[in-house]
Amino acid sequence: MKILRIFLIIFLSMSLSQLKSDEKNDVLKNKILKNIRCLICQGQSVYDSESDFASSIKLIVNKKIKEGISEEQVYKFLREKYGDWVIYHPELNKNTYILWLLPLLLFLVGGAIIAKNLIFKK
């Protein structure tokens, strides 16, 4: 009876940890799929799309996560195949410097103009 109880506890804890790991993988998978643009229904993410392309990408992302490949590596794989545009959140590189730095620059210039006007008014 004691052995049966121990066996049951081990079995339950193993199932629970498996469930937790599956849940963690699902969260990561959905996060990645929401950040990939569907090239067939452009304007929709792969997560939302039901196209053939989207379902193939879903299978690939699922497989890569199960293999233990990181989020960044999945994006790198897709960038190599389809270019930067396939990812919604663009990474900082020589092609995207203007995209990332222009708003910051405009904010600083605008702030400087406002600050200058305020100082002059005083």
Partner 1 sequence: MKNKINIIILFIFLIFCFIVFFKGLDNSNIYTPKTNIQKDLPIFKVKDFITNTDVDSTKVFGEESYYILNIWASWCVPCRKEHPLLMELNKNKSIKLIGLNYRDNLNNAKKFINELGNPYTQILIDKDGTKAVEFGAYGVPETFLINKNKKIIKKFVGPINKKILKEIELIVK
Residue 117 binds to partner 1 (criterion: CB under 8 A):
no
Burial of 46 (0-12, 13-18, 19+ CB in 10 A): buried
Which positions from 3 through 42 interact with partner 1, judged by CB under 8 A?
Answer: 37, 39-40, 42
- Nearest approach, Cβ of residue 107 and partner 1 (Å): 18
The residues with which 88 forms a beta bridge, in sequence order, are none
CA distance 110 to 119: 14
- Nearest approach, Cβ of residue 80 and partner 1 (Å): 8
> Beta-carbon neighbour count of residue 54 at 10 Å?
22
Closest residue by Cα to residue 65 from 92, 32, 106: 32
Which positions from 57 through 116 interact with partner 1, judged by CB under 8 A?
Answer: 57, 59-60, 63, 80-83, 85-86
- The single residue among 3, 52, 72, 122 that binds partner 1, judged by CB under 8 A, is 52
List interacting residues with partner 1 (CB under 8 A): 37, 39-40, 42, 52-53, 55-57, 59-60, 63, 80-83, 85-86
